[in-house]
Structure 1
Amino acid sequence: MPRPRHDSEILPAKERMENAFWELLSTREYHKITVTDIVHEAGVNRNSFYYHYSGLPELADSAIMHVVQEASPKLPTPDSDPDATWRENITNLLQSPEHRERLDRLALIAGPHGSPELVDSLRDFGRLTIIHSLQLPERIDLKTDLMLDFTVGGMLAVLSRWPELRDTVELDDLLNEDVAVLAMSMCLSLSRKDLLGYWHRIFRSDLTGDDK
């Protein structure tokens, strides 16, 4: 039996199967996708599928987890400029073909072809990614837990609208100081940094009357 090629033209079997999952989800409902569909689309055999996955749900979890991890934006810090951080993230998000493809894929989960199971998986991986990125403690307090739910819920809401926004939203629509401040505040609230000090710094001119 010939050895598999290891060049740039042939992707690893797992990556091909995850790509096949996303391609199929773009054309049909999740519950109508079968293992046979996956192996046919990916160009692998059933033995290869079951070598890597116990079934379709495990493949779906793996595909979602990898896209969520790859899509994680740069997180702000208490001393960073919220406008600059937001501008960098949004510019990368909207102008990078790779990032837009990840958004397109995650939007499938929140769209009509998704399922409650896929949404739960996306929600769980979103929470875990934020917890890991912000280095939150293993046991979080109620406020942080609710903020996590609020943040991930907002992301899911945006993803559900992404198909209608992707071709109309402009970079300037999102390069907005109010949006940047909101995003920074949410991250700082989750990370339990000096949020009050941050607000005082951002609005110092208003607080001191320097704008008069």
Structure 2
Amino acid sequence: MAEEVILLDFWCSMYGMRARIALAEKGVNYEYKEEDLKNKSPLLLQMNPIHKKIPVLIHNGKSICESLVIVQYIDDVWKGNGNLLIPSDPYEKAQAWFWSDYMDNTVHEYARKTWATKGEEQEQEQAVKDFLGGLQLIEGVLGDKPYFGGDNFGFLDVSLIGYYSWFLAYETFGKFNVESECPKLISWVKRCLERDSVSKALPDSEKVREFVQNLRKKFGLE
């Protein structure tokens, strides 16, 4: 019996990009279903009744929620396909989870403030400073390695690369440049974009910038 794999997602979600990249890295065929986050589908509400958020992976009728959990699930289920994404070394695995969590729960909030701050120049400047400081810490973890896991593209690369598609929006409204502050990180981005799994999963940065500009108008920030 053929496997049923469905991904409920939203086009510019950096969390959904993780699932798309992991599925592509493993060569898994799946059905993509774009969600309207203002009018969530009955399927999304059924499959993620706790948080009611994307992404949700549905595998043979069973749902897996939360993007990092999804990546680990994909790596476990399709272990024989492609490279392992999750580090086998317990310490490296712990570090990968730690820095993924740091990006999602700390740096991401600084990033949001770079474009979502209204008329509070000092607060926005602090957000930019904090955001770049967070990226510099992550750049330090990368060091001179090709990828975060060393020579092989892996879990932390999958976890972080989706944020790049939002950099242009952050830079535009926060008035800064990531590459001038974190050149090694942007070099890593360029290496990641050479992979089909990444280049096909990440949306156009200009389109994301327009999306953020519309959000700013909606929230009365312009």
Q: Provide TM-score, normalisation by structure 2.
A: 0.29
Structure with more strand by fraction = 2
Q: Provide TM-score, normalisation by structure 1.
A: 0.30
Structure with more helix by fraction = 1
Larger gyration radius, structure 1 or structure 2: 1
